[in-house]
Structure 1
Amino acid sequence: MAYASLLSLNQTLEQILHLDDQTEQHHIFMRSLHEKVSFLLSFLDVSSPQNSDKLRDLEGGIRAAAYEAEYIIESSMSNQIVSESGSHDYRTEPHMSNQIVLEWDQKFERLQKIIQELNSISDEVVKMRERNEIQVLLPSNSLPAASSKSRSTNKSATVGLDRELMEIKKLLTKPHSELEVVSIVGMGGVGKTTVAKLIYNDSLIANHFDVRAWVVVSQDYPDQEVLKGLLNSLRGTNHESGEESIEKLAENVSKILKDKRYLIVMDDVRDIEQLNRVKSFFPDNNNGSWIILTTRISEVAKRASHLYEMRYLNVQESRNLVHKMVFGEEHCPRKLKKIGNKIAWQCRGLPLLLVLIGGLLYKSEKTVSYWHYVLSNISVITDGKFFILDSVSFIYSQLPHHLRACFLYMGVLPEDYEIRRSKLTKLWVANRFIKPDRSKSLEEVAEEYLKDLVDRNLILVREWSYSGEIKTCSIHDILREFCLMKAEEEKFSLDVEYLPEVHDNLRQVSILTDLKNQIPRLALTHDRDLRIRSVTFFFRNSPNDIHFITNFRLLRVLDALTIRFEEFPVEIVELVNLRYIALTCWMKHRFPASIAKLCNLETLIINPGKFRSIFNTSFLPPEIWKMSRLRHLLFVRSYLPYPTDALKGETFVPLENLQTLGNVINFRWTKEVLDMMPNLKKLVISYEHDGRTEWSSYFFDNFVHLHQLEVLKCFFFAKCYIKYQDPLPVNFAFPQKLKRLTLSGCRISWENMTVVGSLSNLEVLKLKFHAFEGPEWELNKGEFCRLKLLLIHMTDLQLWRVNETHLPSLQRLSLRYCYNLVWIPSAIGDIPTLEEIELYECSTSLVTSAQIIQEEQERLGNDGFQVVLKVKDTDISS
C-alpha cells in the first residue's frame, strides 16, 4: 500500500498548494513535502515488479510515513472546517486558509520528522539505483490494457472441459420426469462454477428449459437471501423484496416455477441442511426439471442423484489453456515454448492457477529471462489451497503498484458479491486509488485499471453490456481470501465478521454482520483517534447501531445502502472529509442546508429502497450549487433548484466536475445551466405534464449542447387528471456523442425518428410507453449504424418496414406489450450480428413470426441465436 498511501497524500498536498494567502514558510514546507512524495511516486511507477523483495522494507516505511503525514494534515483541516459555521469553503475564503496555516504551524515538528524519514528513504533508493540493485521498467514494456469484450472472451474457459460439458448437457436433456439433482464437486479453483456457467448459458440448454435461475449460496448465506437471489434471477431484475418472510418468498418462487420445466443452479453450496431446506421450496412438476449444485464439500455432493467430480487438467490441456490465455489464436514464439510448457506443468493442472499465470504472462514481458523468473516463483507445494495462495502472493507482487490497492479493495466485498462497474470505479476514485491524468477523467482512468485487472484474470466479469462494456464484476473466493490476508498484513482493511484487533492505520472497514454485540469494540472510546477512511455496510443493521461512524473524523466513504434511514442522518455532515455517501432513506423532508459543509463531497447516492414511490421525492437545497467538487448526484426522484432562482445573487460556482445527474424533475435546460455543467456524461430526467406548461419552456433543444453527454434517459408523464399529454416538440435534439438513449412517453411521430437514427455513436435505444406513435415506421438508409440493442415497450405500431442493411450491428431486439404489431420483418433474421429476439406480452402473430425467424436460423446452422418468450415474470426460450 506504499503507492496508494503516497498517491492519496500527493492529492491532499496538491489541494493545499492551491490555497491562496499561505505564508511563504508554509508554502515552502508543503512544496518540499510534495517534491519528496512526487519523487517516490515516480520511482514506484517505473520500478520493475522483480524488485518486490528488495523494496519490501522500504515500502513499509513509505506507507507508515505517508499515512502519518496525511493524518496530521487532514485532521488539522477537518478540525478547522468543523470549528467554523459550516457554510464556509476553505478553498474560496482566504481568512479560513490563514487559520488553517496557523494550526498547521503547531504540527510542523511532526511533519519535519516525516520529511526526514522520506529523505532517508529517497537517499536509499538513489543508492540502490547507483548499485544497479533496482531494475527500472522501460517504456516499451508497459503494456496497455485490452479494452474490448472480445479480448477477454477469447481467453477460452472451455479448454479441457469439453467431455464434462457434453456429458452433463446430455444428462440434463435426457427424457425423464421427476425433479433430479446433479452435483459438480471439487476443490476451490478447479473450475466448478465455470462448468456450471457454460452449461447454464448453452443455447441447447436455454432452449430445453422453460425457466432458468442462478443463485449463489456460499458460506453463511441465510435462506431468505438465497430466495431473494432466486427471485431476482427468475424475474431478470434486481427486485426490492423488502422484509418479506421466508414463507412469502418461497411462495413466490414456487408460483413462478409451477408447471414449468426449470433449471436451477445453486452455486457454492456448503451446508446439507440448507440444501434440503431450499430444495423443498421447488415444486416437482414431473416434467424433467433439474437442480445443479456446485460444492467443494463431498458430503454435500453425495446428496445429489448424479455426481461429477472435477478433475485436474492433464499436461496437454494445461499447455493449451496457458497458450490461449497468453496468445489467443496467435502462435507462441519458438524461444518461449519450452519454458512455457514448464510453467504450465508447474501449475499442477489447476485451472484457476493456470488462468492467473496466463494473465500474468499476457500482461508482462515476452522474454525468456522473465518467464524463467516466473517459473522459479510458482509454488511447488502440492496442498491445493495453500499452493494457490502462495502462487497468488507472487502474482500480486508482479502487479504494477497503481493496481494493488484496487485489487485488494475487492476483499472488502462479501464472498461471491457482484458489484456494478460504475459503483466500483466511483469507490476507487473516492478512496484516492486513482492517479490523475490530465487528458482523462478519474473515472476513465479507473475503468482502465479495471480492464487491466480483468485482463490479468484477477477480477471476473459477471455481465457485459451490449455496448461491450463491463457491467458487473466479482472476485473468486480464493482471491478474496488472499486479499483479506494481504490487506490485514498491510494494515489496509478490516472484515468486521472476524473482528481482529483494530489498529491506528486501519483504512477500510467492511461490515458483514449484525453490530449489536460489536459496537463497543468498533466505537471504542472518543479519545482513541481512529484513522478509518471507508466504511461499507453489507448487513441490514439498524440506524441506531451506527452512531459510532461519527468517531471516524477522517472518513471518506460511507456506503450504507443496506440500512434504511427514516430521514437523512444530519450528524454525518460533520464528517467534512467525506467524498462518497450512499444511503437508503425516506426523503420526506428537504436535504439540510448544512450538507454544504461536506465541501469535499464527490458522490451522493440516495436510494428509496422499500419507500420507492412517487411521494418519495428529494428536495435538494440551494447550497448544492456551492459544492464544486460534486461528480455524481444520483436519486430516484429529486427537485434540483434552478441556480439563479435558488441562490438569489449569492455566490455559486460551475459544477465543472459533475458527470452524473439523475433523476431530476421538471428542470429547465437553459444556456445558463449548460454552462454550469459542461462535463455532464449521464443524465436522467423526468417531466410531469400539467396540461398548461409549454414544453418549449424546458429548452429540450439545448440538449444538443451537452457535448460530453453519453447516456440520456428522458421520462414524460401526464398528471393523473390528464388522459393524454401533448407530444414533445419536433425540435427535440441530441448530442452526437450519445451512446445510450431511453425515451418514455414522448408521443413523437415515427416520421421524426431520424433525429435519433442519425446519432452515429448510438448503441442502445429504449423506447417506452409510446415514446413514438403512429401505425407505421419505415427506417431510412444509413441510420442506426452502431445500434446493438433496440427495445420497444408499449406502442401502437402496426407495420414496421426494415431490411438487413438498416440495423447492421443489432444484437438484441426486445418487443414488449406490442399488441398491435402483427409481424417482425423477416429481414431482421438476416442481420448477421443478431443474437436474440425477446418478446413479452405480444400478439400471437408476432410470436409466430419470431419463431419462423428462429427456424430459419437453425436451418442455416446459427445455433447461437434464440427467441425468448417472456410471460408474467417467467421466460420460455423457444
Structure 2
Amino acid sequence: MAYASLLSLNQTLDQILHPHDQTEQPQIIRSLHEQVSFLLSFLDVSSPQNSDKLIGLEERIRDAAYEAEDIIDSSMSNQIVSESGSHEYRTESHISNQIVLEWDQKFEYLQKIIQELNSISDEVVKMRERNEIQVLLPSNSLPAASSKSRSTNKSATVGLARDLLEIKKLLTNSHSELEVVSIVGMGGIGKTTLAKLTYNDSLIANHFDVRAWVVVSREYREQEVLKGLLNSLRGLNHESGEESIEKLAENVSKFLKDKRYLIVIDDVWGMKQLNRVKSLFPDNNNGSRIILTTRISQVANRASLLCPPYHMSFRDEIESWSLLHEKMFGEERCPPELEEIGKMILMECRGLPLLLVLIGGLLYKSERTVYYWHYVLSNIRSKITDRDYRIRDSISFIYSQLPHHLRACFLYMGVLPEDYEIRKSKLTKLWVANRFIKPDRSKSLEEVAEEYLKDLVDRNLILVREWCYSGEIKTCSIHDILWDFCLMKSKEEKFNSDVEYLPRVHDNLRQVSIHTDLKNQIPRFALGNNRDLLVRSVTFFFRNSPNDVCFITNFRLLRVLDALTISFEEFPVEIVELVTLRCIALTYWMKHRFPASIAKLCNLETLIINPGKFRSIFNTSFLPLEIWKMSRLRHLLFVRSYLPYPTDALIGGTFVPLENLQTLSNVINFRWTKEILKMMPNLKKLVISFEHDGRTEWSSYCFDNFVHLHQLEVLKCFFFAKCYMKYQDPLSVSFAFPQKLKRLTLSGCRISWKNMSVVGSLSNLEVLKLKFHAFEGPVWELNDGEFRRLKLLLIHMTDLEHWKVNETHLPTLQRLSLRYCYKLVEIPSGIGKIPTLEEIELCECSTSLVTSAEFIQKEQESLGNKEFQVVLKSKDTDISS
C-alpha cells in the first residue's frame, strides 16, 4: 500500500498548496511534497520485477506516509471545525493560538518523517546506481487503458462444450418431478462459468417460464438470499424493507407457483444451507429444475436422489493451451519464440481454468519477451503438489506484478462481502473518495478510475457480471478465491478489517467493513472507545440499527461513510462534525429534510440517498439552500429531491459555481435557466422529473437550454401528471439536446413522432428509451442519416400502429425491446436485415407483432446468424443502459 498511501498524502498536500490559496504555507510542507512526489514518480516507473527488493522499503514508505497524513489531516480538521464556529465557547484568538501551537508541536514529527523519506529516497538512488532496480519501459508493456473491447464468449466456452451439452440434457429431460442438478468441483475449476453458460443458453431460456440466479456463499444470510431471489425473478430492484424471512419465502413460493422454473443456487457450502434453500421451491410437477454449484462433495451427493452430481474435470493440454492462448493474445498468433516457454507455463497451471485465466491476464499485460516469460515460469513453479497452495502462491506472485497504482483498487474488492456484485458507477466513486486514483489533467478522476477498472478486468482479476448495451461495464465482482486473497492481504497491509479483527490491527488501519450485526460486537470490542483508530472509510453491509453506529463520530478523519443498509428516520446530524467526509451514502425511510449544517462538510464530493422501502412522495429529499456553497460536490444522487433555486444565495453573495458537479439525480420541477447552466458547466449525467399541475407552462422550465450542457452524456427526463389528470399536456417541440449525449430516456412527453428528428440527429446517441407515451401518433417514419450509432432502442407503452424502417436505418442497432405496444401491427422486415442485430425482446405485445419477430428470427437463422434470438417476456423488467 506504499503507492496508495503516498498518493493520498500527495493529494492532501496539493490541496494545501493549491495555487489559488493565498496563505503562505510552511517550508516543511513544501519539502514533504517534494519527497512524496519523488517517491511516487519512482514507484510509477519501477518494474514489478523489483518487488522482492522493495518489500521492506514499501512498508517504510507506507507507514511514514500514513503518519504524515494523519498529522496533517488532524490539523486541517481542527482548523476547519474552528473556522465553522463549532467551538463558540472559545474565543477566536484562543483557537488561532491553539492551531499555531499545534502546528509547532507537530513540525518536529513531520521533520522526522521527512528524514525517514529522505533516507528511503537515498537508498532508492543507490539501488539504481548499483543497477539493482529495473525501470519499467512504456514501450515494453501495454498501456493501462488498453482494454479489450469486451470479454469474449469464446474464452468462457473453451473446454466446456461437452459439459454444457450434458447439463442441458439433464435440465430438459422428460422427468416432470423437480430435480436438483449439482455441479461439483474445486475452487476455480469453472463451476459458476458452466452454470452461467447454461443459464444464458437460448434453448434453456425458452424452455423455462422464469429463471433466477442467487449466490449463497459461506456466510449464509437467508434474508439476503430471499431478497436476491425476488430481485432476480422479478427482474427489478425489489425493495422488501424489513419483511420477515417467512414473508419473503412465501413471496418466492407464490411467484413460482404453476410456473416451470430454473433456479441457480451458486456456491453452497453446507448441508444446513442446502436443506433450507431446497425447501423454498415448490414442486409443480412440470419439469422445474435447480442447478446447484458447490465445492463440497457431501453437499452435492445429498442434493438429489434422482440426479447424481456432475463432477467438473480439469482441462486437458489442448483445451488449456486454447484458453491460455486466448487470454494472452486474443485473435493474434503466439510468436514462435514464445511458444515453447508458453507451453512450459501451461504445464504449471495443471489444467485449472482460474490459474490459466489469471496467468493469461498477467502475460497479456506484460512484456512479450522470453526473459520475462522465464521470470514468470520460475515464480509459479512449485514443488508443492497441493493445488490450493499452488493457487495461493501464484495469486501472490500475480499481485506482486501489478502496477503500483492498481494495487489498492484491487485490494478494495476485499472490503466487499464474498460474491458481492457492485455497480461500476459506485465502485469508481468509492475509489475516488478513498484517493486511490492519480489525477490526470486531461481526464476526470472518474474517467481514470474506469481505466483502472478496465485494466483489472483485462488482467482477469475483476469479473464483469453485467454489461451495458453501450459496451460499458455495468456491474462487477471478484472470484471468491481472489476475494480470500484480498482479505488476507489487506489485513496484512493494515488496509482493511471487519469488526471482528479490529483489536489486532489498530495501527494505520484505513478501512473498516462491517459484515455482521453490531449488537454483540460493540460491547465485546468497545469499538466506540477506539479513538486511536484513524479510520478513513466505514462501509456497512449488514442491516444494523441506527443506534448501533454511534461510534462513527469517533473516526474524526473519516472520508467515506457507506451506510445504505441502515435505515435512518432523520439525517444523522452528528456526522456534519466529520469535516473530512468526501462520500456519504445513507438510506431514509421517511423524513428527508437536510439540515443547513450539511454545508460544514466542505470536502464532500458524493452524496447518495436511497429511499429504502417506500419509493413514494414520502421519500422526497428537501435540500437546503446551503447546498450551493459546497463547491467540491461531484455527485448528488437521490430518487426524488427538491433543489432550491439559488436566488437567495446569489443575493447574499454566497454563490459558488458547482464546477465539479458531474451527476445530478433526481431533481423535481427545476428550472434550467442560464444562471443554473453557468453553475454546472461540467454536468455529465442528469436525471430529472416534472409533475404537471395543469397550470404551469412547460416553457417556464427552459428545456431548450439543455442544449447548452455541453458535457452532458446521460439524460433521463420523466414527466408525470397529477393523480386527477389522465395525461399532462404535450411538451413543446423546442426541446433541445447537446450533441455529446450518449444515452437518453424520455417518459410521458407526448411529443409527435413527426418531431423525432430532434433526437435522431444526435450523432453520439447509443441508447434510447422511450417510455409511457414519450412519443405519440399512429405512424413513425425514420429519416435517412438519423440514429447512426444507436445500439439499444426501447419503446415502452405507445399508441404507435405503423413503423416504417428499412435496412439503411439504425445501422448499428444491437437490441430492440418493445413493451406494451398493443397497437403496433408488426416489426418492419428491414429491422431483420440490420447486420448488428443480436436480440428482439417483446413483452405484452400483439400476436401479429410476435409473429413478425419470429419470421425475422427464421430469416436470421437462414443467414447463419445462430446468435440472434427473440425473447418473449410475460413481465416487465429493466434494461441496462
TM-score, structure 1 normalization: 0.96
2:5 match: 5
- The one of 295, 316, 319 aligned to 2:318: 316
| Aligned counterparts of 1:96 and 1:296: Cα–Cα separation in 2 | 61
Distance 1:441 1:855, change over 3 A: same
Structure 2 letter corresponding to 1:27: P
1:227 match: 226
> Tell me, what secondary structure is at the counterpart of 1:708?
coil
How many Å apart are 1:671 and its aligned residue?
1.1
Contact 2:588 2:619 in 1 (8 A): no
How many Å apart are 1:873 and its aligned residue?
6.1
2:354 match: 352
How many Å apart are 1:589 and its aligned residue?
4.7
Q: How does 1:170-319 map to 2 (within 5 A)?
A: 170-303=169-302, 304=304, 305-319=307-321
| Aligned counterparts of 1:865 and 1:662: Cα–Cα separation in 2 | 35
Q: How does 1:712-861 map to 2 (within 5 A)?
A: 712-861=715-864
Per-residue deviation, residues 445-485 of structure 1 (Å, max 9, x unmatched): 00000000000000000000000000000000110110111
How many Å apart are 1:23 and its aligned residue?
6.9
Contact 2:795 2:818 in 1 (8 A): yes
Q: How does 1:614-693 map to 2 (within 5 A)?
A: 614-693=617-696
How many Å apart are 1:315 and its aligned residue?
2.2
| Aligned counterparts of 1:527 and 1:158: Cα–Cα separation in 2 | 50
Per-residue deviation, residues 167-221 of structure 1 (Å, max 9, x unmatched): 2222222322211111111111111111111111112222222221111111122
Distance 1:310 1:84, change over 3 A: same
Structure 2 letter corresponding to 1:130: E
How many Å apart are 1:342 and its aligned residue?
0.3
| Aligned counterparts of 2:744 and 2:426: Cα–Cα separation in 1 | 20
Structure 1 letter corresponding to 2:587: T
1:16 match: 16
Of 226-235 and 345-354, deviating more is: 226-235
Q: Does 1:330 align with 2:300?
A: no
| Aligned counterparts of 2:864 and 2:168: Cα–Cα separation in 1 | 19
Contact 1:357 1:395 in 2 (8 A): yes
Distance 1:786 1:522, change over 3 A: farther
> Tell me, what secondary structure is at the counterpart of 1:661?
strand
2:106 match: 107
How many Å apart are 1:510 and its aligned residue?
0.7
How many Å apart are 1:869 and its aligned residue?
1.9
Contact 1:187 1:384 in 2 (8 A): no
How many Å apart are 1:146 and its aligned residue?
5.6
> Tell me, what secondary structure is at the counterpart of 1:41?
helix
1:608 match: 611
Contact 1:568 1:587 in 2 (8 A): no
1:396 match: 399
1:561 match: 564
Contact 2:81 2:577 in 1 (8 A): yes
Contact 2:787 2:810 in 1 (8 A): yes
> Tell me, what secondary structure is at the counterpart of 2:871?
strand
| Aligned counterparts of 2:95 and 2:670: Cα–Cα separation in 1 | 35
Structure 2 letter corresponding to 1:2: A
Distance 1:774 1:538, change over 3 A: same
Per-residue deviation, residues 332-361 of structure 1 (Å, max 9, x unmatched): 111101100000101111110110000000
Distance 1:653 1:477, change over 3 A: same
| Aligned counterparts of 2:86 and 2:737: Cα–Cα separation in 1 | 37
How many Å apart are 1:874 and its aligned residue?
8.9
Contact 1:181 1:306 in 2 (8 A): no
How many Å apart are 1:790 and its aligned residue?
0.9
> Tell me, what secondary structure is at the counterpart of 1:770?
coil
1:503 match: 506
| Aligned counterparts of 2:490 and 2:188: Cα–Cα separation in 1 | 21
> Tell me, what secondary structure is at the counterpart of 2:368?
coil
Distance 1:795 1:96, change over 3 A: farther
Contact 2:491 2:505 in 1 (8 A): no
Per-residue deviation, residues 619-654 of structure 1 (Å, max 9, x unmatched): 111111111110000001111111224553232211
Per-residue deviation, residues 389-428 of structure 1 (Å, max 9, x unmatched): 1110000000000000000000000000000000000000
Structure 2 letter corresponding to 1:41: L
Contact 1:711 1:739 in 2 (8 A): yes
How many Å apart are 1:149 and its aligned residue?
6.1
Contact 1:319 1:344 in 2 (8 A): yes
Contact 2:216 2:225 in 1 (8 A): yes
1:418 match: 421
Q: Does 1:450 align with 2:453?
A: yes
> Tell me, what secondary structure is at the counterpart of 1:637?
strand
Q: CA RMSD in A?
A: 2.1
2:44 match: 45
How many Å apart are 1:241 and its aligned residue?
1.5
Contact 1:523 1:548 in 2 (8 A): no
| Aligned counterparts of 2:863 and 2:18: Cα–Cα separation in 1 | 65
Structure 1 letter corresponding to 2:122: D
Of 817-826 and 778-787, deviating more is: 817-826
> Tell me, what secondary structure is at the counterpart of 1:571?
helix
| Aligned counterparts of 2:807 and 2:86: Cα–Cα separation in 1 | 60
Distance 1:637 1:819, change over 3 A: same
The answer to which structure, 1 or 2, has the higher relative contact order (CA under 8 A, 6+ apart) is 1
How many Å apart are 1:504 and its aligned residue?
2.4
- Which consecutive unaligned segments of at least 5 residues does structure 1 have? none
Q: Does 1:386 align with 2:385?
A: no
| Aligned counterparts of 2:462 and 2:675: Cα–Cα separation in 1 | 43
Q: Does 1:340 align with 2:342?
A: yes
Aligned-residue sequence identity (percent) comes to: 85
Contact 2:528 2:551 in 1 (8 A): no
Contact 2:621 2:640 in 1 (8 A): yes
How many Å apart are 1:817 and its aligned residue?
1.5
Distance 1:170 1:462, change over 3 A: same
| Aligned counterparts of 1:500 and 1:357: Cα–Cα separation in 2 | 36
- The one of 370, 373, 378 aligned to 2:372: 370
Of 147-156 and 808-817, deviating more is: 147-156
How many Å apart are 1:551 and its aligned residue?
0.4
TM-score, structure 2 normalization: 0.96
Contact 1:815 1:838 in 2 (8 A): yes
Distance 1:706 1:414, change over 3 A: same
> Tell me, what secondary structure is at the counterpart of 1:196?
helix
How many Å apart are 1:290 and its aligned residue?
1.3
Structure 2 letter corresponding to 1:662: S
How many Å apart are 1:104 and its aligned residue?
1.9
| Aligned counterparts of 1:761 and 1:390: Cα–Cα separation in 2 | 46
Contact 2:531 2:555 in 1 (8 A): no
Per-residue deviation, residues 503-536 of structure 1 (Å, max 9, x unmatched): 1210011100000111135554657321110000
Of 647-656 and 568-577, deviating more is: 647-656
* Matched pairs, number: 870
| Aligned counterparts of 2:690 and 2:823: Cα–Cα separation in 1 | 27
